[in-house]
Amino acid sequence: AKIQEQIEATKVSLEEAIAQAKAHVGGGVVKSAQLYLPQADAQPPRTPGAKQEQANPEIDVLLYKDGKAHRVTIDAVSGTIVESVVVPRFFGWEVKGDYVELPTFVRYYDIEEGDGPSPDEDDAIFGVIVGYLADGTVFWDSRLNPDGKTVLQLRNAIPGLKQALTSMREGGRRKIIIPYTQGYGLFGSPPLIPSNATLIFDIAIDKVYKLDAQGNPEGEQAQEKPKKKKAIPPPPPAPPGKRLPSPKPYEPEEKPPAALRGAASV
């Protein structure tokens, strides 16, 4: 009932919000426009110093002008501009230098090169994985786990991730940009991933697991036990699909899981 009341209270259409955002920025090309409800879409502040609570429904408009991305937030009831910021080139970890582009147009930046083994398409990795949409929406985040990390079996990964991860080494950090053709395609994966979505991943590999045909760790890895580790402060209490602050500084700390149960797929 409350959500219905919020929708009925909305006075500004997406088209009107787009026009207002373009006028505010001085033109540009619109990438997306999305309505957020204060209860259904509660989220932390988008930028440092921003308001802590969202009283009315808001519309976020993302547009590009002069090589920069702008996000304009408009109160969907009053029509006033709540916030206008220039968003970073990529969300999450900063990148420097040139990227590598694969034949499939998957791109990646090596933030830190590892010196361990690389995973094959049938192997698994353990580490930090954060996935963003182009507008900064977080659709998957290992930081929400107690230790901030997760296990990913590459056989369950989308094509673009497999292609970028098989050349990555244990101990490395990489930012990966995946076009929709190597991600979730024309139809996306509702409700979190829209159609034709470009995906951005921050990935750090703490451990590569060589798996057998049944998906179990091979050899000595099968006998490894988790190492006791210091407590890590919990990540922001927001569910996937909401904007979160940039990932905390990466602190590699190997903690091999006893078994690869509950491995993620993306």
Q: What is the pLDDT along the chain (266 residues), one digit of tens a residue?
A: 677 777 778 889 999 999 999 999 999 999 889 888 875 544 444 443 344 455 788 999 999 888 778 999 999 999 999 999 987 777 888 888 889 999 999 999 999 999 999 999 999 999 999 999 987 889 999 988 888 899 999 988 999 999 999 999 999 999 999 999 999 999 998 888 999 999 999 999 999 998 877 767 766 555 554 343 333 333 333 334 444 444 444 444 445 445 454 556 66
Contact in structure between 185 and 179 (CB atoms under 8 Å):
no
Burial class (CB in 10 A: 0-12, 13-18, 19+), 76: buried
Contact in structure between 157 and 265 (CB atoms under 8 Å):
yes
Backbone angles phi, psi at 106, to 5 degrees: -75, 135
Residue 93 one-letter amino acid: W
Looking at 3.40.640.10, 3.30.70.3270, 3.10.50.40, 3.30.1360.70, the CATH number of the domain 100-223 comes to 3.10.50.40
Q: Please choose, from the candidates 231, 114, 122, 227, the residue with its C-alpha nearest in 3D space to the C-alpha of residue 174.
A: 114
d(CA 140, CA 132) in angstroms, rounded, equals 7
| Domain spans, the chain | 2-87, 100-223
Contact in structure between 238 and 244 (CB atoms under 8 Å):
yes
CATH 1.20.1640 fits 2-87, yes or no: no
pLDDT of residue 94: 84
* Helix, strand, or coil (residue 213): coil
Residue matched to tokens 């791109």 = 107
**Which residues on neighbouring strands pair with residue 153, listed in sequence order?**
124
- Helix (H) or strand (E) holding 141, with range, is strand 138-141
Residue matched to tokens 């429904």 = 57
